[in-house]
Homo-oligomer: A and B are copies of this chain.
Amino acid sequence: MMKSSLKYIFPLIPFLFIACNKKKETKDIHSENLLVFPTGEKITNGNFTGTAYLQMLMDADSLNSISVGNVTFEPGARSKWHTHPAGQILLVIDGVGYYQEKGQPKKILRKGDAIKCPPNVPHWHGAGSDKTFVQVAITGREKGETVWLEPVTDEEYHK
């Protein structure tokens, strides 16, 4: 009886391994698909501390003054303090990051969060110290360009 069971079970074992491997493949495809937008090019304009990347999604033009960009901050990376003449809206696409307005406590931002930066209020945003942070920035350009201020110090960042 034992011998006959063995005869039926042995041929099944490879199929169990195949089933396991198939699921692994699906998982990997899902991981790759997690990021919605391309990471884009490394930002080299000096307005960021650490490594950040920008993929423009839409430029402002004469028909629509809104620009949209996808920014990826490596852990610890952040913008300088800055202001937007017409304000900005941030949508968090992935990871964990920070947003802080001058004189206010730092806020933690997580995937799915949306935040409004009021016009002309100095603020910064960036990644948490151990997580990459991906955000879409929606900026009205009708009142002029971003005004860049001083870097966010390590003390300010870690406070």
Contact = CB atoms under 8 A, between A and B. Distances in A.
Interface residues of A, number: 46
A138 B66 contact: yes
Contacts of A111: 33, 36
Interface in A1-38: 2-3, 5-6, 9-10, 13, 16-17, 19-20, 23-24, 26-27, 30-31, 33-34, 36-38
A127 interface: no
A63 to B, nearest CB: 5
A43 interface: no
Contacts of A66: 66, 89, 138, 140
Interface string A53-95: 0000110010111101000000000000000001101011110
Contacts of A87: 63-64
Nearest to A138: B138
Contact of A6 (B5, B24, B26, B119): B5
A65 to B, nearest CB: 8
A60 B31 CA distance: 34
14 contacts: A2-B3, A3-B6, A9-B9, A9-B13, A16-B16, A23-B24, A36-B92, A36-B111, A37-B91, A38-B112, A57-B91, A63-B116, A64-B118, A68-B114
